[in-house]
Amino acid sequence: MMAYLGRRLGQAALLLVVVSMIGFAILHLAPGGPMAQYAMGSNMSQEDLDRIAAQLGLDRPLPVQYAEWFWRMLGGNWGTSYRGGQPVLHVIGSHLGATLELMLTATLIAVVLGCWIGILGAIRRYSVFDYLATIGAMVALSIPTFWFGLVAIFIFSVELGWMPAGNRQTIGDGSLLDMLHHLIMPALVLALVETAIWSRFMRSSMLDVVNQDYIRTARAKGLPEWRVLSDHAFRNALLPMITVAGLQLPTLLGGALVTETVFTWPGMGRLFLDSIEYRDYPVVMGILMFSASLVLIGNLLADMLYAVADPRIRLG
């Protein structure tokens, strides 16, 4: 197990280097640059822009810039934001809490609700509930999240006045109740799509399992139906869901670009969008490396959990 873990970590480190090289090259070779934001205001001349670019080290050859960035990153210095002048790790850290709060809540809702709908749909295949769940999932997956978000804001904030139209909390009110009040709508909107995904995967996985011989055996030996489902069907149906969960990890911390924008949620998604817009290379690279690490960790965890959940799988 330890040898496997070591090998996978080694592969992951190598992959991160490759990702960083490709990301750095694409980002810097793409047209435009961080100086463009100043070009239209403040009476800054080309000379000013060139001077500032040189002070930021942007006038040096790309391999030199990359080598310096990579060396500093190895030492724990992920660079400084061009826009705000703050350390990249601090910038990422200051947006992580909001994303985690939103994504964890949404994922929790989605997992519980999605699994329940999926299991029920599989058990009562072709029932009215199953058809409704299928149609509902298709609708949720087909319509963009921002539309759901805007409609929810229009109905519950503008027309009914029950919910705040976005923001993480009322300024000056840091109470838990206030935070929950702000969290409900974005979390539900985000959970809507995720619930659809989880329910479809769960239904499919459950359908595979309920027709297996061991389920028939369990029933034949006289186990009550709920035990057949919970002890035999559900546990086995969860195996493919580990992959889904592993893939969800990066999105859990990577943020939801659209939902965060619509609900004015100060998370990673918006940070990423803003950093791209301003070509804040150090922050974009920081988020890229952070997300890549999460993908690799998510996959590694999924593989390891397989071994835990399924005794037939041996890692080594």
Partner 1 sequence: MIRDDASSRWHRILAPTRRGLFAIGGAAALAIGPARAQGTHRPPEKPKGQVIVGLSQEPTVFHPLMPGIEVDQGVWWNLFSTLWHIDPDGQFVPDLAAEVPTQANGGISEDGLLWKVKLRRDAKWHDGTPFTAEDVKFSLELINNPDFRVRNRVGHSFVKDIAVTAPDEIQWRMETAYAPYLSILSLTFMVPKHLLSGAADPNNTPFQNAPVGTGPFRWGSRTPGDNIQLTANTAYHGKGPYLERVVFKYIPDLTVMYTQFRTGQIDYTGLSGISPNFAREAQALRGRKVHVNPTASVESIAPNLEAGALADKAVREALYMGMNKKALIDALYYGLPTPTESFLPRQSWAINPDLPKHEYNPAKANEMLDAAGWKRGSGGIREKGGVRLEFTNSTTVGNPIREQAQQLLMQDWRAIGAGMRIQNMPAAVIWGEFWQQSKFNSVMVAVNYMLGSDPDVTPRFSSKAIPAKGGRGQNTFQFQNAEVDELLLKGATTFDQEKRKEIYARIQQIIREEMTILPIFQQALVEGTKDNLIGFRSNINTSSNCWNIREWYWA
Amino acid identity for residue 177 in this structure = L
Cα–Cα distance measured from residue 188 to residue 107, given in angstroms and rounded to the nearest whole number:
10
**x/- string (CB under 8 A) for partner 1, residues 82-121?**
-xxxx----x--xx--x-----------------------
> Which of 262, 284, 288, 292: binder of partner 1 (CB under 8 A)?
262
> For the chain, how many residues are written?
316
User: C-beta of 18: minimal distance to partner 1 in Å?
Assistant: 26
Identify the residue whose tokens are 């803003």. 274
Helix and strand numbers (H, E) in the chain are 14, 0
Cα–Cα distance measured from residue 37 to residue 60, given in angstroms and rounded to the nearest whole number:
20
**x/- string (CB under 8 A) for partner 1, residues 172-201?**
x-----------------------------
What residues between 14 and 33 interact with partner 1 by CB under 8 A? Answer: 31-33
Cα–Cα distance measured from residue 157 to residue 155, given in angstroms and rounded to the nearest whole number:
6
Identify the residue whose tokens are 């809540």. 105
> Which of 20, 24, 81, 188: binder of partner 1 (CB under 8 A)?
81
User: C-beta of 201: minimal distance to partner 1 in Å?
Assistant: 31
DSSP state of 76: T
- Nearest CA-CA partner of 206 in 103, 117, 75: 117
DSSP state of 310: -
* Residue 151: other Cβ atoms inside 10 A: 12
38 near partner 1, judged by CB under 8 A: yes
* Nearer residue to partner 1 within complex by CB, 61 or 85: 85
* Nearer residue to partner 1 within complex by CB, 130 or 274: 274
* Nearer residue to partner 1 within complex by CB, 8 or 83: 83
What residues between 266 and 305 interact with partner 1 by CB under 8 A? Answer: 266-267, 270-271, 273-274, 277-279
* Nearer residue to partner 1 within complex by CB, 50 or 225: 50
What's phi and psi for 8, nearest 5 deg? -65, -40
Token pair listed for 240: 């493919």
46 near partner 1, judged by CB under 8 A: yes
Task: Please list, residue by residue across 52-85, b when 16 or more beta carbons sit within 10 angstroms of its beta carbon and e when fewer do.
Answer: ebeebebeeeeeebbeebeeebeeeebbbbbbee
What residues between 128 and 167 interact with partner 1 by CB under 8 A? Answer: 150, 153-154, 157-158, 161, 164-167
Q: Which stretch binds partner 1 (CB under 8 A): 52-60, 191-199, 207-215, 236-244?
A: 52-60
* Nearer residue to partner 1 within complex by CB, 6 or 93: 93
Local structure of 227: helix, strand or coil: helix
47 near partner 1, judged by CB under 8 A: yes
Who contacts 102 (Cβ-Cβ below 8 Å, separation ≥6)? Answer: 183, 186, 187, 190, 255, 256, 259, 260, 265, 267
55 near partner 1, judged by CB under 8 A: yes
- Where do contacts with partner 1 occur on this chain (CB under 8 A)? 31-49, 52, 55-56, 80-81, 83-86, 91, 94-95, 98, 150, 153-154, 157-158, 161, 164-168, 171-172, 261-264, 266-267, 270-271, 273-274, 277-279
